A = this chain, B = another copy of it.
């Protein structure tokens, strides 16, 4: 172990290799800190740093008192191609049950950016909602949305219980188009609590603005989802219409 690379990186790379080679399969526990200390003849802090490197790469998750386990790799894909298919329908197509858990639902004065996105006059209120999205019962996303006040007020009960878009359409509010931006970001402490991921875990941030059939923006927001559980697909065509 005389090398220009730090010990913690040498150890974490060796462990990573073992994981990718299947020595520690998905869900399996890797050796304890004390076992690794003995094996590699280093201090505990070096072992912990090596494990932290693996946690940061999403290869393992550590549970206090239990041990460090190889994370399962399983993702679902949501198609963003036109024609529009709402999230829960796409999930159902894949045999995945999607549900929500409402966290916050309140009338607020929106940030300026939201006001502009929803094309609202100054000092208009909107309904702010924070909800957890669960797939097969496990939290995979936190959704923060802003809905026109008149819709939020009349549909509050259902908005707290169902996914937004299909629910709006059930009530005759048709969604004509959704503008989206997809980015990758880091989990902050609040989000990492909700989604049970380590601080800094990669998230997909799916920002959206939905327009009704009068070309009026009615909802905007962003869904922060676990990068290891959800991904998006698009088909890009040379021309606008399909073959």
User: Residues on A close to B: CB < 8 A?
Assistant: 9, 13, 16, 53, 55-58, 75, 77, 80-84, 174-189, 199-204, 227-228, 231-242
Set of chain B residues within 8 Å of A180, measured between Cβ atoms: 233-236
Whole-angstrom CA separation of A221 from B179 in the bound complex? 26
Contacts A186-B57, A189-B13 known; A231 to B181 CB distance under 8 Å? yes
The distance from the CB of A190 to the nearest CB of chain B, in whole angstroms, is 10
Whole-angstrom CA separation of A82 from B239 in the bound complex? 6
A83–B234 contact, CB under 8 A?
no
Identical chains in the assembly? 2
A240–B242 contact, CB under 8 A?
yes
B232–A203 contact, CB under 8 A?
no
Whole-angstrom CA separation of A82 from B242 in the bound complex? 10
B200–A200 contact, CB under 8 A?
yes
